[in-house]
């Protein structure tokens, strides 16, 4: 009887423990939203990134960037029909079909982006009739291509030839979108600026938080060649108002629920050319630079390099590059003569993800997964027996922190539940 009773009690405890673990894991999972720059498929050589290069298991959400707005019909439209829809390329459907293999994956379509500007979206949002026509087209578009949701990337309300009334009209647009999305169950998100002035001018944070499922905070591009000074692209902290910490605390102070905020992480760095060459042991941070940076071989954008370009450049020319770390901003840098790259690596990514967990945010967002080291070219030989574990080092560093955080909370809460159970029934 004693043995039977013990086994019965063990079975109850086992089931209770596992049910608790299952429940806690479900409620504490964090968002890992991965933007995919559709134009990455046009990049040269090893920089070319297609949907076949994805590892969807590293993300909870995928967002295809970007669709556009037709400012004559006020309907959503493909910016590259040849690649997105036509001629057997079917970029949209190749992404959404991934859910057959990864059923928990959510796939959204983003509209807007930097190149689309702000004025057309300002004009759209100012008119109830235009908003209605636009929303109807979005509903049809999402259904046609089997997307789970929609990401509004209007950069930026009340700026870039926008209007002073954009702040309220933005609320109207997301409210009406959300109301239309309730029946089909679509996710509604938006990408917002990390600049305090743009936030205050363009976003009614308490109101948009009512209607957006997640708010993607573009916590990067704080600095670049436009500053004429070498400064971090995405500083965790700083002595001025331009840092991840300042942005998140500002949004929280303005009424954003932590459960809605998703911290943006850049998988790229900014490049600079120094006005004067420093000594070999001197940090380049805060040094004067020219108005022009330099390009990477794949992204071909002045002042910008993807992490894959950065790590390959440093690895291939290790005798010429020196690397260092800026403690204040938690940012690595690399310097070769008068050339400087300020970027993020797995260590700085880890610090930002830990910060997001500390602030109890909904999770993190990646811009963009196609500039991670997706070929694993920079992996150290002997790191792993599995070649796939050498790819996407930034994404893997992010997921490692989230797994550790989730496991820790899971075990802690499960232990508490077990102690409560034992105290009551033993």
Active-site residue set: 155
CB 271 within 8 A of CB 340: yes
In order of 4, 307, 311, the CA distances from 394 in angstroms are 51, 9, 11
* Ordered alpha helix ranges (H), 345-392: 346-358
Distance of CA 155 to the CA centre of its chain: 16
CB 147 within 8 A of CB 140: no
Where is 422: in which H helix or E strand? Answer: helix 393-425
How far apart CA 338 and CA 405 sit, in angstroms, is: 40
- End-to-end CA separation in angstroms for the chain: 16
- Cross-strand bridge partners of residue 333: 324, 342
How far apart CA 221 and CA 191 sit, in angstroms, is: 14
The residue whose two tokens read 């009614």 is 204
The residue whose two tokens read 């600026």 is 193
CB 147 within 8 A of CB 107: yes
**Number of neighbours of residue 88 by Cβ within 10 angstroms:** 4
CB 289 within 8 A of CB 274: yes
CB 193 within 8 A of CB 209: no
Where is 156: in which H helix or E strand? Answer: none
The residue whose two tokens read 């196609």 is 370
**Which DSSP category does 135 fall into?**
H
CB 251 within 8 A of CB 217: yes
How far apart CA 23 and CA 30 sit, in angstroms, is: 14
**Number of neighbours of residue 143 by Cβ within 10 angstroms:** 11
Tell me the residue length of the chain: 426
């Amino acid at each position: 009887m004693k043995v039977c009773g013990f086994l019965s009690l063990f079975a109850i405890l086992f089931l209770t423990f596992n049910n608790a673990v299952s429940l806690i894991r479900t409620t504490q999972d964090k968002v890992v939203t991965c933007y995919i720059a559709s134009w990455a498929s046009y990049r040269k050589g090893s920089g070319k990134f297609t949907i076949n290069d994805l590892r969807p298991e590293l993300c909870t959400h995928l967002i295809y960037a970007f669709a556009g707005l037709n400012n004559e019909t006020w309907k959503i439209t493909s910016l590259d029909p040849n690649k997105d829809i036509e001629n057997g390329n079917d970029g949209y459907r190749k992404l959404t079909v991934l859910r057959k293999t990864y059923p928990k994956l959510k796939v959204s379509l983003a509209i807007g982006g930097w190149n689309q500007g702000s004025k057309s979206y300002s004009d759209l949002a100012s008119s109830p009739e235009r908003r209605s026509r636009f929303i109807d087209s979005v509903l049809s578009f999402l259904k046609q291509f089997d997307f789970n949701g929609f990401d509004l990337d209007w950069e930026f309300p009340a700026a870039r030839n926008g209007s002073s009334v954009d702040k309220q009209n933005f609320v109207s647009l997301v409210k009406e979108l959300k109301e239309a999305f309730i029946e089909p169950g679509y996710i509604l998100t938006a990408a917002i600026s990390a600049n305090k002035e743009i936030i205050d001018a363009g976003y009614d944070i308490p109101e948009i938080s009512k209607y957006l499922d997640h708010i993607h905070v573009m916590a990067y591009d704080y600095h670049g060649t436009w500053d004429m000074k070498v400064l971090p692209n995405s500083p965790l902290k700083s002595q001025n108002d331009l840092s991840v910490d300042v942005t998140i605390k500002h949004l929280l102070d303005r009424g954003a629920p932590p459960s809605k905020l998703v911290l943006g992480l850049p998988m790229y760095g900014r490049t600079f050319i120094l006005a004067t060459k420093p000594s070999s042991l001197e940090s380049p941070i805060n040094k004067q630079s020219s108005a022009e940076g330099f390009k990477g071989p794949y992204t071909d954008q002045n002042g910008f390099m993807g992490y894959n370009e950065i790590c390959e450049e440093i690895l291939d020319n290790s005798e010429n590059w020196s690397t260092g770390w800026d403690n204040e901003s938690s940012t690595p840098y690399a310097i070769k003569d008068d050339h400087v790259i300020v970027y993020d690596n797995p260590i700085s990514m880890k610090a930002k993800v830990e910060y997001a967990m500390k602030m109890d945010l909904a999770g993190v967002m990646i811009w963009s997964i196609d500039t991670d080291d997706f070929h694993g070219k920079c992996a150290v030989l002997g790191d792993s027996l599995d070649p796939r574990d050498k790819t996407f080092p930034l994404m893997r560093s992010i997921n490692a922190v989230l797994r550790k955080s989730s496991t820790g909370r899971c075990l802690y809460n499960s232990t508490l539940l077990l102690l409560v159970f034992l105290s009551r029934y033993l």
